[in-house]
């Protein structure tokens, strides 16, 4: 009895989002989000102090970055689909969703590396170059870490650790992946959209 | 001038007593805030001390003393909060007023000086009507009494801060940008300043002197500084000029000679200054000799290397330098 | 078999004699020997380690200060070279601010939180161990640089361009940069642990308005740290990049030196509140015990804690008033810096009111808590003065600010901490500290501190700049500096007396029962020291002052807290999970066994960071692999889902 109210059976360990690990993951996401906020602040500060001649490319090409954004968004859909699969007990959907997301993540990274190689400035050539490669690089590292997380989850999924009653790690992995996706939207807007806005 | 009349030069770096419209409004506010702060501290100390003395329970251990709240005490919070709010509001208003008062002199500057902070000395370039009317000196800045002086602040290497407490608050010198401050001395005298942002090994020995003179004397000084160095006639000094060209010209400038280095201070009128090494060494025969012979002993870490001159070379060099009035 | 049931109704029992202590001791007790010591995840053990380590750093930082004060005792002394002095003042600052001030509060919070909240451990016991090991590693990393003559030497604030490779070529700054990033990991994971513990592991009935103020303080600081630490970690990372790879964040080719100051102070200002708010919470919880009444204005104090921290994110530019900012920015940040005084003031009035409307019993702990109010106000008013921009343009970078920061740090962190030691030492060790020696301790510290640091206000007003290894004759500073040096020595002796008291009392102190002070909160309901499982049954809470309910009457709800009748939870290491606001039970938490994974992960991180420092990339990669391996072991799921399905039919 608590304050006169009887309590019934409680989940043991945790269930879905009712789990300490879920809250912990949200804290991790909050701190990583702050990191990206400070990175983008650095860009904004340096950009404002320098004026418009600072941009090496008045209108950066979207030929690779825009489709790449689509790839990453699709991968989030795949993760979401796989997450629904495990919650509903559909093993095929569960494993496929994770696998597709990892593959799309790999494509994102590969396309970005191509884009990097095409840039005519380097990490140390100017403050813009330093910011560009560092910020997109930080993001890429997060994508790679996300892929490792998803791959590990995939391995555990294949081994049968997860199902409708136990799947909190999948929820966490998915949340992390969506977070990385949202960060990319901010990074993309900063580097590829704001120059067009003048 | 505001504030208690502290004894003459006993505290050359205090800003409790200042001079001129750039500093005085802030000084009045400073004294007011000191007064308010002291009042608050005394009040709270009394409240806590007297409270403990009056309310304490003797003779019982804590665990045995009964739990007996006397009222909810919320009035303390509301009254305290209200009083604090009033004090803060008044401070904010006065702060904005003082800030506005010292923002600019309200009339054009009589003199404009571009001050550049170096590790660990101050370059001062007086900007005249044109390049022929401009000159560079170091560490000792003269200004006319009663006139606003505009100071442009630049950074040569790391961040320093220009500060002459009796005349103006601190402003940093930041490489890559130009900051702006101003000052005005309403009374003639010597005002000491010092670098106020940690800048490395000799941050502690980076003083600057501002000497306010009546306008006629200032003009005489300015014209003297504008002129190049006179050629020496004494044989020792002439030999010393050769020593200078060989050992010092790479870093130092003496206008009117081939020496035009810019890593160290302009020495064209070295003898017109009262100190060397940004206030670290007096500009006397002994001081000058010691500084040249072994700068690292007097200001370890200073960028001026030991010159390994022989005794006679040193004597000749000093004879030459003493012609740079 | 443990863990196979996916739901269970927790058993309600009444404590009876030895039941259920022995069974719980077998479940929660530590493994003996070195392995047990290295793999412990017990919050009480980790808390004590934090406290001891933080005190060790406090002493190191104090010794550094005493050497500096010897050099500054007279004008133009040459006991130290400028380089030595610069490393000393930098190490003193970073030791005190990073290696003492935050970890000591983490240590107290770690030890106390589960006991205060009615839980058997923190939400993440292994993460707890990790945050300690990383802290220790980072401290050793930083000091390894110092003792080999490569200590950071650009102040704890480390401004560029001086910190760039062009002006500071050795590894000194790299040691600082990487050491701080490593430490930031410890702070961040610790912060996450506190946040989740607060939200999910309080005893049933301990609604959000019933938690001790200490938990509000640490919670607020933890949320702030999650959001603020990345700023400084990023700043140091970008600096490290500039120094190793020639990137252009802070200098030339469009780089901006002021960016460093913004990033540093966007972290730095919230940080200074993070290192005092938990200590203020200690006073808010401890002072009322000795005043024999609950804290005046609990809700106001809790709200003011959060408000101070929130406002603390909006004032960072007041560290940059002299950089040539536009007037609008100056006005805004000046105003905000004045406003932030208000919530801090609320706590001062609450404590004063608690004294006046209570009947204080004077003990050493009480003296430290009460004197803190005065020191807080002195530190507060000097800070208030610097909030006014035109005044700050004279005060900043002088000894006035040195006075201010020491009054706030020693007054609002050290004094409450020492009070906390006197207060909670019996709970941690089962023995009381000696009161006679405590009186000597208090007065020596109090007098020594004020003699040592009050004159710094005057030195500042007389124009003495800070961060100088020496000063000129004839400035009127010499006598005051000598007084400061003498006072500091007296203060150090006071700290020594504390250590003596601790050492002596550990062996010969009077034995303490569960509740030697007659205090109100839950930690005093368990034995001193507490058993490994904290609570034999998870209690059910009905007010802010469970142990005072009989004397206070109740809170009007009609219910009384139940401390010996509660939830058993003995099917392995378990505690109760509850909802964030009302603390209704909603989960049985499975707590981990002792594990070496946190230590191994830390060793991996050491490899990563040492490799980075030395440009030994193979070592960094190896370290990374060890980190990954430790994480896999740590996070490996324990349950094949199919078995779970089978067990439940």
Chain B residues with CB under 8 Å of C255 CB are: 176
Average pLDDT over every residue of C273-279: 98
Question: In this predicted structure, what is the pLDDT of residue B4?
Answer: 33
Q: Which of B149, B154, B208 is nearest to B177 (CA)?
A: B154
Interface of B with C in 120-179 (CB under 8 A): 153, 157-159, 161, 163, 165, 168-172, 174-177, 179
**CATH for the C1-229+530-589 domain, from 3.20.20.70, 1.10.357.10, 1.20.210.10, 3.40.50.1220:** 1.20.210.10
Residue C642 confidence (pLDDT): 78
Question: Is residue B257 within 8 Å of B128, Cβ to Cβ?
Answer: no
User: What distance in Å separates residue B191's CA from the closest CA in chain C?
Assistant: 12
Q: What is the pLDDT of residues B114-147, one digit of tens each?
A: 999 999 999 999 999 898 999 999 999 999 999 9
Q: How far apart are CA C100 and CA C94, in angstroms?
A: 9
Closest by CA position to B277, among listed B159, B139, B153, B137? B139
pLDDT in tens, C14-41: 998 878 899 999 999 988 999 999 999 9
Task: Give per-residue pLDDT as tens, C567-593.
Answer: 999 999 999 999 999 999 999 999 999
Chain C interface, best mutation among B12, B48, B190, by max C CB count within 10 A: B48
User: How much is the average pLDDT of A105-127?
Assistant: 96
pLDDT of C554 reads 55
Contacts of B40 in chain C (CB under 8 A): 377, 381
Task: Return all residues near B142 (Cβ < 8 A) that are at least 6 apart.
Answer: B210, B211, B212, B213, B218, B221, B222
- DSSP assignment of C551-587 equals HH---SSS---EEEEEE---SSSEEEEE-TTT--EEE
Distance CA B27, CA B1 (A): 9
Q: Is B179 helix (H, G, I), strand (E, B) or coil?
A: strand
CB atoms within 10 A of CB C632: 12
In this prediction, residues C507-520 reach a mean pLDDT of 96
From chain C, pick out residues whose CB is under 8 angstroms from the CB of A11.
Answer: 6-7, 586-588
- Closest chain C residue to the Cα of B74, Cα to Cα: C297
Chain C environment of A34 (Cβ under 8 Å): 226-228, 230-231
Contacts of B157 in chain C (CB under 8 A): 161, 167
> In percent, how much of chain C has pLDDT > 70?
98
CB interface of B with C, residues 15-44, below 8 Å: 15-16, 23, 25-27, 29-30, 33-34, 36-37, 40-41, 44
Q: Is residue B57 within 8 angstroms of chain C, CB to CB?
A: yes
Asked whether the beta carbons of residue C588 and residue A11 sit closer than 8 angstroms, the reply is yes
Q: What per-residue confidence (pLDDT) applies to A6?
A: 62
CA distance B64 to chain C (A): 7
Nearest residue on chain C to A122, judged by CA atoms? C247
Contact call for residues C639 and A166 (beta carbons, < 8 A): yes
Residue among B63, B92, B159 minimizing CB distance to C516: B63
Residues of chain B contacting C349 with CB distance shorter than 8 Å: 76-77, 79-81
Rounded to an integer, what distance in angstroms lies between the CA atom of residue C27 and that of residue C24?
Answer: 5
pLDDT of amino acid B2: 33
* Burial (CB count <10 Å: 0-12, 13-18, 19+), residue A84: middle
Higher pLDDT, A17 or C641: A17
Q: At B230, list the tokens.
A: 């006179």
Determine whether the interchain pair C587/A14 forms a contact, defined as Cβ–Cβ distance below 8 Å: yes
Whose tokens are 């007023």? That residue is B97
Percent of chain C's residues with pLDDT above 90 = 93
Return the structure tokens found at C198: 């607060």
- By CB neighbour count within 10 A (0-12 exposed, 13-18 middle, 19+ buried), where does B311 fall? exposed
Which residue ranges make up each domain of chain C? 1-229+530-589, 597-648
Picking from B67, B194, B200, the nearest residue to C162 by CB comes out as B200
Nearest CA in chain C to B28: C391
CATH of domain B111-226: 2.60.40.420
- Residue spans of the domains in chain B: they are 24-60+70-102, 111-226, 235-321
What's the angle, vertex CA C572, arms to CA C569 and CA C578, rounded to 5?
A: 40
At C7, give phi and psi (nearest 5°): -140, 155
Per-residue 3-state assignment (H helix, E strand, C coil) for chain A: CECCECCCCEEECCECCECHHHHHHHHHHHHHHHHHHHHHHHHHHHHHHHCHHHCCCCCCCCCCHHHHHHHHHHHHHHHHHHHHHHHCCCHHHHHHHHHHHHHHHHHHHHHHHHHHHHCCCCCCCCHHHHHHHHHHHHHHHHHHHHHHHHHHHHHHHHCCCCCCCCCHHHHHHHHHHHHHHHHHHHHHHHHHHHHHHC
- Which of A2, A125, A166 is closest, CB to CB, to C641? A166
Show residues of chain A in contact with C542, CB under 8 Å: 3
pLDDT > 90? residue C195: yes
Q: For residue A5, give both structure tokens.
A: 């109210």
> Which residues of chain C have a CB within 8 Å of the CB of A23?
123, 195-196, 199-200
Which among A13, A24, A45, A171 is the top mutation candidate for probing chain C, defined by the most C β-carbons within 10 Å of its own β-carbon? Answer: A13
pLDDT at residue C644 is higher than 80: no
Residue of C93, C301, C349 to mutate, interface with B, max B Cβ within 10 Å: C349
Enumerate the H helices of C148-206 as residue ranges. 172-200
Tell me which residue in C249, C255, C640 faces A160 most closely, judged by beta carbons.
C640
Measured CA to CA in angstroms, residue C618 lies from C45, C238, C607, C624, C628 at distances of: 35, 22, 9, 10, 15
Q: Do C390 and B74 lie within an 8 Å CB cutoff? A: no
Give the gap in angstroms from C-alpha B61 to the nearest C-alpha of chain C: 7
Q: Tell me how far apart the alpha carbons of residues C421 and C427 are, in angstroms, rounded to a whole number.
A: 10
* B235-321: CATH, from 3.30.420.40, 1.10.10.10, 2.60.40.420, 3.40.50.720: 2.60.40.420
**Which residues make Cβ contacts (< 8 Å) with residue C425, sequence separation at least 6?**
C431, C432, C433, C502, C505, C509
Confidence of residue C643 (pLDDT cuts 50, 70, 90): confident
pTM, rounded to two decimals: 0.96
**Cβ within 8 Å, pair C377-B10:** no
pLDDT in the model for residue B292: 95
**Antiparallel, parallel or unpaired: β B168-173 and B179-183:** unpaired
Nearest to A156 by CA among A91, A90, A103: A91
Residue C10 makes CB contacts below 8 A (sequence gap 6+) with A7, A10, C538, C567, C568, C569, C576, C585, C588
Instruction: Give, for C588, the enclosing helix (H) or strand (E).
Output: strand C585-590
For position C439, what pLDDT does the model report? 98
Question: Which of chain C's residues have a Cβ under 8 Å away from the Cβ of A37?
Answer: 230
Alpha carbons C235 and C238: distance in angstroms, whole number: 5
pLDDT at C557: 53
A31, pLDDT greater than 90: yes
Span between the terminal Cα atoms of chain A, in Å: 64
Provide the number of CB pairs (under 8 Å) joining chain B to chain C: 294
Taking contacts as CB-CB distances below 8 angstroms, the residues of chain B near C319 are none
Q: Do C238 and A45 make contact, defined as CB atoms within 8 angstroms? A: no
Mean pLDDT of C335-359: 96
Least CB–CB distance from C161: residue in B57, B64, B159: B159
pLDDT at residue C85 is higher than 90: yes
Interface partners of B (3+ CB pairs, < 8 Å)?
A: C
User: Is the minimum CB–CB distance between B236 and chain C shorter than 8 Å?
Assistant: no
C399-432 residue pLDDT tens: 999 999 999 999 999 999 999 999 999 999 999 9
Is residue C532 within 8 A of residue C28, CB to CB? The reply is yes
How much is the ipTM here?
0.96
Against chain C, the chains showing at least 3 CB pairs within 8 Å are A, B
Tell me whether residues A130 and C542 touch, CB distance under 8 A: no
Which of A3, A45, A165 lies at the smallest CB-CB distance from C641? A165
Q: What domains sit in chain A, N to C, each tagged with a CATH number?
A: 21-47+60-197 (1.20.120.80)
Q: Which residues touch C461 (CB under 8 Å, ≥6 apart)?
A: B14, B15, B16, B34, C398, C400
The pLDDT tens digits for C311-326 are 999 999 999 999 999 9
Quick check: A34 and C228 CB within 8 A?
Answer: yes
Q: Which residue of C has its CA nearest to B48?
A: C352
What is the average pLDDT score of chain C?
95
At B114, which helix (H) or strand (E)?
Answer: strand B111-118
Residues 207-226 of B with CB under 8 A from C: 207
Say which of C192, C201, C247 has its CB closest to residue A27: C192
Mean predicted confidence (pLDDT) in A38-53: 94
CB contact under 8 A, C293 and B170: no
How high is the pLDDT of residue C556?
53
Tell me the chain C residues in contact with residue A6 when contact means C-beta distances shorter than 8 Å. Answer: none
Confidence at residue C649, expressed as pLDDT on a 0 to 100 scale: 56
How many Å apart are CA B160 and CA C256, to the nearest integer? 15
**Average confidence (pLDDT) over C109-120:** 98
pLDDT in the model for residue C252: 73
Q: Where are the alpha helices (DSSP H) in C292-326?
A: 298-312
C617 to chain A nearest CA, in Å? 17
Per residue in C430-472, pLDDT (tens digit) is 999 999 999 999 999 999 999 999 999 999 999 999 999 999 9
Determine which of A6, A8, A25, A38 to mutate to test the interface with C (most C C-beta atoms within 10 Å): A38
Q: Which stretches in chain B have pLDDT values below 70?
A: 1-8
Q: Which of B88, B94, B200 sits opposite C342 (nearest CB)?
A: B88
Query: C558 near C547, Cβ under 8 Å?
Result: no
């Amino acid at each position: 009895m608590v304050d006169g109210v009887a309590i019934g059976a409680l989940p043991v360990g945790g269930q879905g989002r009712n789990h300490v690990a879920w809250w912990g993951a949200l804290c991790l996401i909050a701190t990583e989000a702050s990191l990206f906020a400070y990175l983008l602040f650095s860009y904004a500060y340096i950009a404002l102090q320098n004026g418009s001649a600072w941009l090496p490319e008045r209108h950066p090409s979207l030929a690779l970055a825009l489709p790449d954004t689509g790839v990453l968004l699709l991968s989030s859909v795949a993760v979401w689909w796989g997450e629904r699969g495990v919650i509903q007990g559909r093993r095929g959907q569960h494993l496929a969703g994770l696998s597709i997301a990892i593959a799309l993540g790999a494509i994102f990274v590969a396309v970005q590396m191509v884009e990097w190689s095409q840039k005519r400035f380097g990490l140390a050539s100017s403050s813009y170059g330093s910011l560009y490669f560092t910020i997109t690089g930080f993001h890429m590292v997060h994508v790679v870490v996300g892929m490792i997380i998803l791959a590990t989850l995939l391995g555990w999924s294949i081994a049968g650790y997860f199902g409708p009653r136990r799947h909190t790690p999948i929820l966490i992995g998915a949340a992390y992946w969506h977070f990385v996706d949202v960060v990319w939207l901010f990074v993309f807007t900063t580097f590829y959209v704001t120059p067009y806005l003048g | 001038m505001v504030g208690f009349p502290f004894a003459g030069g006993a505290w050359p770096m205090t800003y409790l007593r200042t001079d001129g419209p750039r500093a005085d409004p802030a000084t009045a506010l400073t004294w007011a805030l000191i007064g308010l702060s002291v009042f608050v501290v005394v009040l709270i100390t009394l409240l806590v001390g007297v409270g403990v003395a009056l309310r304490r329970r003797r003779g019982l251990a804590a665990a045995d003393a009964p739990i007996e709240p006397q009222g909810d005490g919320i009035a303390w919070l509301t009254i305290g909060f209200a009083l604090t709010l009033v004090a803060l509001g008044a401070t904010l208003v006065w702060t904005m007023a003082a800030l506005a008062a010292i923002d600019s002199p309200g009339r054009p500057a009589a003199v404009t000086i571009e001050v550049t902070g170096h590790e660990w000395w101050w370059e001062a370039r007086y900007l005249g009507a044109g390049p022929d009317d401009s000159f560079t000196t170091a560490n000792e800045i003269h200004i006319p009494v009663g006139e606003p002086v505009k100071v442009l602040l630049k950074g040569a290497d790391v961040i320093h801060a220009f500060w002459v407490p009796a005349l103006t608050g601190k402003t940093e010198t930041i490489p890559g940008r130009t900051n702006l401050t101003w000052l005005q001395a309403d009374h003639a005298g010597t005002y000491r300043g010092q670098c106020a942002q940690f800048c490395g090994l000799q941050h502690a020995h980076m003083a600057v002197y501002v000497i306010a003179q009546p306008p006629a004397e200032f003009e005489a000084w300015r014209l003297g500084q504008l002129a190049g160095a006179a050629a020496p006639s004494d044989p020792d000094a002439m030999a010393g000029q050769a020593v200078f060209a060989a050992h010092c010209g790479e870093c130092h400038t003496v206008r009117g000679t081939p020496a035009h280095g810019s890593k160290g201070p302009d020495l064209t009128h070295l003898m017109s200054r009262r100190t060397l090494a940004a206030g670290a060494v007096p500009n006397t025969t002994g001081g000058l000799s010691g500084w040249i012979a072994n700068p690292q002993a007097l200001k370890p870490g200073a960028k001026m290397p030991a010159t390994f001159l022989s005794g006679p070379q040193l004597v000749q060099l000093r004879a030459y330098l003493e012609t740079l009035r | 078999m443990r863990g196979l049931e996916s739901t269970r109704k927790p058993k309600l029992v009444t404590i009876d004699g030895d039941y259920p202590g022995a069974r719980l001791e077998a479940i929660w007790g530590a493994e003996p020997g070195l392995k047990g010591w290295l793999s412990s995840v017990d919050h009480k053990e980790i808390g004590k380690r934090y406290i001891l380590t933080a005190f060790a750093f406090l002493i190191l930082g104090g010794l550094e200060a005493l050497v500096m004060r010897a050099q500054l005792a007279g004008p133009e002394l040459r006991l130290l070279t400028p380089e030595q002095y610069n490393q000393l003042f930098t190490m003193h600052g970073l030791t005190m601010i990073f290696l003492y001030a935050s970890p000591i509060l983490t240590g107290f919070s770690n030890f106390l939180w589960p006991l205060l909240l009615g839980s058997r451990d923190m939400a993440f016991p292994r993460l707890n161990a990790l945050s300690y090991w990383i802290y220790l590693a980072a401290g050793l990393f930083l000091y390894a640089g110092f003792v080999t003559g490569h200590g950071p030497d650009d102040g704890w604030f480390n401004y560029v361009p001086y910190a760039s490779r062009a002006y500071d070529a050795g590894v000194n700054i790299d040691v600082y940069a990487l050491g701080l990033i490593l430490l930031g990991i410890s702070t961040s994971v610790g912060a996450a642990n506190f946040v989740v513990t607060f939200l999910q592991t309080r005893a049933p009935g301990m609604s959000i308005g019933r938690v001790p103020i200490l938990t509000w303080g640490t919670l607020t600081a933890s949320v702030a740290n999650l959001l603020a630490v990345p700023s400084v970690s990023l700043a140091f990372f970008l600096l490290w990049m500039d120094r190793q790879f020639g990137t252009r964040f802070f200098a030339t080719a469009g780089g901006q030196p002021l960016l460093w100051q913004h990033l540093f102070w966007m972290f730095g200002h919230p940080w200074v509140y993070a290192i005092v708010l938990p200590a203020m919470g200690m006073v808010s919880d401890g002072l009322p015990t000795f005043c024999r009444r609950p804290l005046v204005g609990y809700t106001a104090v809790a709200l003011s804690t959060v408000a101070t921290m929130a406002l603390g994110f909006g004032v960072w530019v007041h560290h940059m008033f002299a950089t040539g900012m536009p007037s609008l920015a100056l006005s805004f940040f000046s105003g905000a810096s004045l406003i932030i005084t208000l919530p801090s003031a609320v706590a001062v009035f609450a404590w004063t009111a608690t004294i006046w409307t209570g009947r204080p019993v004077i003990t050493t702990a009480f003296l430290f808590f009460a004197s803190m109010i005065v020191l807080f106000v002195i530190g507060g008013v000097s800070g208030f003065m610097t909030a006014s921009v035109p005044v700050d343009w004279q005060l900043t970078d002088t000894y006035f600010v040195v006075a201010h920061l020491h009054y706030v740090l020693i007054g609002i962190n050290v004094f409450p901490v020492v009070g906390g030691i006197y207060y909670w030492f019996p709970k941690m060790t089962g023995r009381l500290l000696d009161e006679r020696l405590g009186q000597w301790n208090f007065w020596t510290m109090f007098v020594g501190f004020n003699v040592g640091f009050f004159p710094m206000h005057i030195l500042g007003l007389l124009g003495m700049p800070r961060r100088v290894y020496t000063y000129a004759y004839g400035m009127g500073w010499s006598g005051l500096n000598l007084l400061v040096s003498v006072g500091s020595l007296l203060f150090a002796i006071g700290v020594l007396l504390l250590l003596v008291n601790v050492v002596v009392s550990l062996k010969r102190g009077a034995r303490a029962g569960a509740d030697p002070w007659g205090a109100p909160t839950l930690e005093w309901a368990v034995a001193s020291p507490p058993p490994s499982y904290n609570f034999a049954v998870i209690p059910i809470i009905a007010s802010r002052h469970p142990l005072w309910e009989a004397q206070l009457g109740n809170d009007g709800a009609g219910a009384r807290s139940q401390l010996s009748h509660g939830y058993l939870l003995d099917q392995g290491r378990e505690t109760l999970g509850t909802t964030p606001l009302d603390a209704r039970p909603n989960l049985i938490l499975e707590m981990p066994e002792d594990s070496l994974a946190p230590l191994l992960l830390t060793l991996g991180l050491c490899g990563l960071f040492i490799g980075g420092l030395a440009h030994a990339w193979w070592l960094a990669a190896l370290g990374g692999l060890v980190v990954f391996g430790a994480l896999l072991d740590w996070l490996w799921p324990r349950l094949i889902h199919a078995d779970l399905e089978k067990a439940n039919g």
